[in-house]
Structure formats: structure tokens, C-alpha cells
Structure 1
């Protein structure tokens, strides 16, 4: 405890939910590292998830750090930058995830095909000699995790807006 101007300063503890979320995020990062190369259809999806996990950990560190150290305006500035980055990165992730809905989940059906990536006269890298476009696969666990966590973000946003509107009407 530190004393200043006769008052006792007690640092607040970070919320327990922050510490629990940190453990969950670390588990998700491990899952993504396992599947990092399992989505050639859209290779940015695992990178998107990995960066979101790391940034979420960074946000948890900022929350915990602000509880123990008085960083003043610098903490708020960094938090604003991180939120701006999360917003922009979330939009990019939406484009990557929803643009390939619903991908080929079968790894052996596309990349093992003898005509896979035989471009011939087409400029499409997934065009084959038979004239059809072969979609490379995306791991089902990885894609569905990205898809449903994005959908869950929208559901949570909708609930927050709905509850906020209800609270405004009640007051």
C-alpha cells in the first residue's frame, strides 16, 4: 500500500472473469496453432483467429495492468488503439470467413485430385483441365469455429443493443 496526501491507495484486483478468459484464449490459440496450415481455401482465417486471440490476451493484460499500476492517459490511448485495431481486424475477418461460405471440408477431394491446380489456359489458380473450378479445402473444425465465433459476436452485439434500448425505455 502506498500513501499519498494522507490517503491510503489500494490497487483494485482484476476481475476473475479476466483471468478465466485468459486461460480460455490461450486454449483457443493452441487450437489455432494446430490448424494453422489447414485452410488453403482462405489462409487468412487461421491468421485472423490467431491475431484476435493474441490481441484479446493483450487487452486482458491492459485491464490487469490498469488495476495494479496508474498509467493514466497512456493506458486509455493504448486501449483506444487496440479497440480500433480489433474493429478493423474484425471487419477483415468477416470478409475472409463469409466470402468462402461454405467451403469444401474434404481434404482428399481437392488437393489430392490429379487435375488440382493444373491451370491450362485459365487465370484461375483452381481451374483444372476438365474445365471446372476445384475449391481447395478448409478444415471443418477451424472454419466452423471461426464462423460461429463471428456469428456469436453479432448475437452478443444484438443483445447488448436490445438490452440497452430496454433500459433506456424503462428509465
Structure 2
């Protein structure tokens, strides 16, 4: 399991480096939507920076720099999330562009296809995670109901209770 995550992580690093280099190399070669190469550069840089910060702040501890790094990482994740939606609005409306240089709807083929593939892959992964989370929540609720546990405790229950008595603890009041 851990080795699979390491391999996927390394592949994602390589894809983000390729996104930065393709976006920078072909910055002016997508007249149909000139923001697509910029999208690739910013997406790649923000992902690499957030991954780097995530790896480093976990090893620091609970001091002030670690807390600041964690807050910056959260803000960077929020920015990347918003940037992803902005990029989606640039990529999908021009599908499919013309890959012949000099035409009005031209965009460099590899640059556009990488942007399209990354965006689609992230949408598919997000959808799968959402579906799996919903299934897990549904199965957990069904398991709780089938085993006889209450999802919402009654007013006499508390953490660490050892009986299901409906009378208040402590006898007569």
C-alpha cells in the first residue's frame, strides 16, 4: 500500500514538472485560449510547492513555524482548488482545438492534451472519492442500525456509559 502511494506520488511530481515545462515552453502557442499554458504553470508550481510543504511541516513538530507552514499549506490548497475550477472553465469550452498552426482555434497539441488530461483525471478521481465516501457513510450507518446502536444517543447516555438504563445515574434526586 505504501509503495503504491510512493509510486503514484512520484508520477504526480513528474506530471507537475512536465506541466510547468510545457506551459513555459509553449506560453504563446495557444491563441484559442492563451490562459491554458499559464494554467499549467501555476497548477504545477502550486502542486509542487504544496507537496513540498506538506512533507516538511510534518517533520518539524508543534512550534510556531510548523503552525505557520500548516496555515500556508492550507491556503495554498484552497488556491489550487479554486485555480482548478478556473482552469476547467478555460479548457473544456475550447474542446477540441485545432492543432494546425496559424488557424484561429489553434493550440499546441501536447500542451492542450496535457491540460485536458490532468483536469479530467482530477475530476474523475474527485468523483470516485466522493462516491466511495458516500458508500462508506451509507455502509457505516447501515451497520450501526443493524447492530442496534443508536446513531443519536439519548439524553441519559454519555461517553463511557456501561448500561442502557433510561434512568438518571445517582438514584433519587
**Is 1:148 the counterpart of 2:139 in the alignment?**
no
Q: What's the TM-score once normalised by structure 2's chain length? A: 0.67
Residue 94 of structure 2: SS of its match in structure 1?
A: coil
User: What is aligned with 1:159?
Assistant: 128
> What runs of 5+ residues in structure 1 fail to find an aligned partner?
1-14, 111-134
Please tell me whether residue 42 in structure 1 is matched to residue 33 in structure 2: yes
Give the 3-state SS of the residue equivalent to 1:75 in structure 2. helix
Aligned to 1:99: 93
- Larger RCO (CA within 8 A; separation ≥ 6): 1
Structure 1 residue aligned with 2:76: 82
1:104-151 deviation line (CA, Å, top 9, x unaligned): 21114x2xxxxxxxxxxxxxxxxxxxxxxxx24111221121112111
The 1:104/1:97 distance shift into structure 2, 3 A limit, reads same
Check conservation: 1:107, 1:136, Cα contact below 8 A: no
Cα–Cα, structure 1 residues 64 and 17, in superposed 2: closer, same or farther, change >3 Å? Answer: farther
- Point out the structure with max Rg over C-alpha: 2
Q: Which moved more, 1:148-157 or 1:62-71?
A: 62-71
The structure-2 alpha-carbon separation of the partners of 1:148 and 1:16, relative to structure 1 and needing over 3 Å to count, comes to closer
CA RMSD of aligned residues (A): 2.1
Aligned partners of 2:117 and 2:16: how far apart in 1? 16
Give the C-alpha shift of residue 18 in structure 1.
8.1
**1:160, 1:136 → 2: CA distance?**
35
CA distance in 2, matches of 1:150, 1:18: 17
Contact 2:16/2:43 (8 A) holds in 1? no
Return 5+ residue gaps in structure 2 as ranges: 141-173
Aligned residues: 132
Q: CA deviation at 1:86?
A: 0.9
CA contact (8 A) 2:50 2:76 kept: yes
1:62-89 Cα offsets, whole Å, 9 max, x none, are 1111122233421231122112211221
TM score, norm. by length of structure 1: 0.68
